[in-house]
Amino acid sequence: MSKAIEFFFDVGSPAAYLAWTQLPRLAADAGAAIRWRPMLLGGVFKATGNSSPVMIPAKGRWLINDLKRWAVRYGVPLEMPADFPINTLTLMRGAAGIQLYQPDDLARYLTAVFNGIFAQGLAMGDAAVVAEVLRKANFDPARILELAGDPQVKQALLATTEEAVARGVFGAPSMFVGEDMHFGQDRLEFVAAALRD
């Protein structure tokens, strides 16, 4: 049986964005599947007493510069939005809803949202900007809002967030190969090694 990478993520995390740009190739090279696990990072922070590194000014400045170095290494764009960090509740409910009801569209949704936030640096905390990004990716913004209000979608996102916390997740991205957790986009080599074991 082939191995799988469980990718616990929130689209508001620039480190999750960078990992997302690399995971498909990494998984393909290893013959592994990716299990996309949308969670609400704010919920994880609240449950674990953690907070975004950018809340500490010196650490935040260092982190942004470090992420830019990783983006260069990966050969991908990284444009931090002016309104970072953003509230991703609706966007993450959208991801959970698409995964629940339209799973074949999840990759396209994540591409639109991740790239909107971190490749283009758009103000994705603004509903009008989000609607335009979704329309350009052939999504109906009203449908995403409908999904965000669906009780089953809310429960699915909550359940995944609670599962993440129960398994030791404290931030994003967190990746599991079996029961071993790897935190951060700079740990992908360990994910690849775990897939080879």
Q: In the chain, pLDDT over 90 holds for what percent of residues? A: 95
Q: Can you count the helices (H) and strands (E) in the chain?
A: 9, 4
What's the number of domains the chain is made of? Answer: 1
Task: Summarize the confidence of residues 168-176 as an average pLDDT.
Answer: 98
CA-to-CA distance for 20 and 14, rounded, in angstroms? 10
pLDDT for 24 equals 97
Mean pLDDT of the chain: 96
Note the pLDDT tens digit of each residue in 41-60.
999 999 999 998 888 999 99
Note the pLDDT tens digit of each residue in 181-192.
999 999 999 999
Structure tokens at 182: 């790897």
pTM over 0.85: yes
At a CB cut-off of 8 Å and minimum separation 6, what does 188 contact? 19, 22, 23, 26, 182
pLDDT for 54 equals 86
Scan for tokens 């609706």, then name that residue.
90
User: Does residue 1 surpass a pLDDT of 50?
Assistant: no
User: Does residue 83 surpass a pLDDT of 50?
Assistant: yes
Domain that holds residue 48: 4-196
What is the CA 177 to chain-centroid distance, rounded? 17
Note the pLDDT tens digit of each residue in 136-158.
999 999 999 999 999 999 999 99
CA-to-CA distance for 173 and 22, rounded, in angstroms? 12
CATH of the domain at 75: 3.40.30.10
Residues 18/175, Cβ–Cβ less than 8 Å: no
Note the pLDDT tens digit of each residue in 88-125.
999 999 999 999 999 999 999 999 999 999 999 999 99
